[in-house]
Chain A
Amino acid sequence: SQQGEEDPQALSIQEGENATMNCSYKTSINNLQWYRQNSGRGLVHLILIRSNEREKHSGRLRVTLDTSKKSSSLLITASRAADTASYFCATSAGGTSYGKLTFGQGTILTVHP
């Protein structure tokens, strides 16, 4: 079964607006990552947040992690048409299963010019 559940499944916004995607998971994690997938392409790593971190920034991306609620959010500020893609959260449980990332179902983001 999938570890991560993402919300919303699809998001449509105008260029310049902010986009927020949420991810919930079920079991304790070592870290949580966000990946982007452009149509017909492979996934590309965006940002990683460890279980002992609450917030992390990278350019226009901001990720938060609330381990008590088992949830994370990805905020893309000042979105651009080029941000149109699917976004996936992935969790790593750590320990002997450190290498096995479990992916959510993804959020499809459409940014209209």
Chain B
Amino acid sequence: NAGVTQTPKFQVLKTGQSMTLQCAQDMNHNSMYWYRQDPGMGLRLIYYSASEGTTDKGEVPNGYNVSRLNKREFSLRLESAAPSQTSVYFCASSVLGATSSGANVLTFGAGSRLTVL
């Protein structure tokens, strides 16, 4: 049981290049999330998907797009990478859906370290 799988683990881009971070979960979770982690800033939510077919902006969505391809997969795209997007990106999922109530416990992937030169 792999949990949450992110690819790639490492990537170096030049300013202006584009790339997509892939995330897949095999736990039949309803909600999926993309966070970025920067030194001294903790984790900040970029986008989330509360259920298949829906996506919503988080705290820092500018410069990113997402796609909830199906229930398992949630991708994050940088259309024109900037040095400010150098960060570690984490995908997470949770069993809660759009109409669920209760506590929302997240399962995280191992992270993708992105450097934009």
**Interface: B21 (CB within 8 A):** no
Residues of B close to A40: CB separation below 8 A: 111
Contact (A98, B41) CB under 8 Å given A45-B105, A45-B106: no
A100 to B104, CA, bound (A): 8
CA distance A40 to B40 in the complex (A): 15
A27-81 contacts to B (CB < 8 Å): 30-31, 33, 35, 40-45, 48, 50
The interface on chain A, measured as residues whose beta carbon lies within 8 A of the other chain's beta carbons, has a size of: 26
Q: In the bound complex, do residue A43 and residue B42 qualify as a contact, i.e. CB atoms below 8 Å apart?
A: no
Instruction: State the CA gap A13–B110 with chains docked (Å).
Output: 27
Chain A residues contacting B58 (CB-CB under 8 Å) are 100
B74 interface residue per 8 A CB criterion: no
- Cross-chain contact of A2 among B41, B50, B92, B96 (Cβ < 8 A): B41
Q: Does A99 contact B (CB under 8 A)?
A: yes
- Compute how far the CA of A90 lies from the CA of B42 in the bound complex, rounded to whole angstroms: 10
B75: interface (CB < 8 Å)? no
Q: Is A25 an interface residue (CB 8 A)?
A: no
What sequence of 0s and 1s flags, for each residue 2-45 of chain B, a beta carbon within 8 Å of any chain A beta carbon?
00100000000000000000000000000101010000111111
A42 x B90 contact (CB < 8 A): yes
Contact A100–B103 (Cβ < 8 Å)? no
Known pairs A42-B90, A99-B94, A100-B58; A33 contacts B105 (CB<8 A): yes
A2, B90: Cα distance in complex, Å: 17
Closest to A4 in B: B42
- Partner pick for B42 among A2, A41, A98, A99, CB 8 A cutoff: A2
Q: Could you say which residues of chain B place their CB within 8 Å of the CB of A88? A: 42-43
The answer to whether B4 touches A105 (Cβ under 8 A) is no
**Contacts A99-B31, A100-B48 given; 9 further ones with Cβ under 8 A?**
A42-B111, A43-B92, A98-B100, A98-B101, A99-B50, A100-B45, A102-B59, A103-B35, A105-B42
